């Protein structure tokens, strides 16, 4: 067998093709054979990826800028701790490529195993980093709380779990009720996280992901 001299380029091409198919046909309606038919051998596809879900996860990891944004915002001395968190989620809400990819595969987020995996990953990887921003906010008095770790978990639950996954499966009335509920919880916990601007961007995000 002739060895591929440029495996990274091959993988990138596969991911680009798969992403295009997910956008055009939806995740559920795209098969591994569809990707094969786009110019790859079946052996090459399965050499690099065991499943369609693995391809989806790789694409998502490439377009999700949260980790890089967290590092940059943490080091931005011009922002308070609260402003760092607010800007992080402003950026997330404006990541149209990620939003479109998630829309294409929203059925995935209704699978208990997938939901559990994402929940545990976010709590493990994101919550401690958000807690660092919360502590910066406590130091500069932009956040008032005695429970930085618990507040960080609540923030992750709101943005990554509820807005990230469960928002696909609720009515508009339920969405606005949930939004008001979390808004009140955050204020009661000493953090004015949801500004009018951020609330409006969340509403626009909801309309965008539920557009036909």
DSSP string, 120-143: HHHHHHTHHHHHHHHHHHHHTTS-
Number of domain units in the chain: 2
Q: Is the pTM of this model over 0.75?
A: yes
In a domain, 167, yes or no: yes
Please check whether residues 82 and 129 belong to one and the same domain.
Answer: yes
What is the predicted pLDDT for the residue at 1? 41
Residue 99 φ/ψ, nearest 5 degrees: -60, -45
2 within domain boundaries: no
Q: Which residues of 62-78 are buried (b: 16+ CB within 10 A; e: fewer)?
A: ebbebeebbeebbeeee
Tokens of 153: 């978990």
137 and 202 share one domain: yes
Tell me which range, 41-45, 77-81, 188-192, is most confidently predicted by mean pLDDT: 77-81
Position 5 scores a pLDDT of 55
Tokens representing residue 21 in the block: 């198919």
Closest among 100, 104, 113, 205 to 162, alpha carbons compared? 205
pLDDT tens sequence across 70-125: 999 999 999 999 999 999 999 989 888 988 888 888 888 888 888 888 889 889 99
Give the domain range for residue 71.
64-209
166 lies in a domain? Answer: yes
Q: Under 8 Å CB-to-CB from 19, ≥6 apart: which residues?
A: 59, 101
């Amino acid at each position: 067998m002739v060895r591929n001299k440029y495996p990274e380029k091959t993988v990138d091409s596969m991911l680009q093709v798969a992403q295009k198919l997910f956008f055009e046909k939806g995740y559920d309606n795209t098969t591994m054979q569809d990707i094969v038919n786009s110019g790859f051998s079946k052996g090459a596809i399965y050499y690099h990826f065991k499943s369609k879900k693995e391809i989806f996860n790789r694409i998502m990891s490439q377009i999700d800028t949260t980790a890089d944004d967290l590092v940059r915002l943490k080091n931005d001395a011009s922002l308070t701790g609260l402003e760092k968190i607010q800007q992080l989620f402003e950026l997330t809400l404006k990541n149209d490529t990620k939003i479109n990819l998630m829309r294409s595969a929203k059925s995935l987020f209704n699978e208990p195993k997938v939901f559990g995996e994402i929940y545990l990953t976010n709590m493990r990887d994101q919550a401690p980093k958000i807690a660092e921003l919360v502590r910066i906010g406590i130091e500069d008095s932009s956040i008032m709380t005695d429970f930085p770790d618990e507040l960080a978990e609540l923030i992750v639950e709101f943005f990554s779990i509820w807005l990230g996954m469960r928002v696909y499966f609720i009515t508009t009335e339920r969405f606005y009720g949930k939004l008001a509920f979390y808004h009140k919880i955050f204020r009661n916990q000493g953090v004015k996280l949801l500004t009018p601007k951020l609330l409006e961007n969340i509403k626009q995000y909801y309309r965008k992901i539920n557009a036909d």
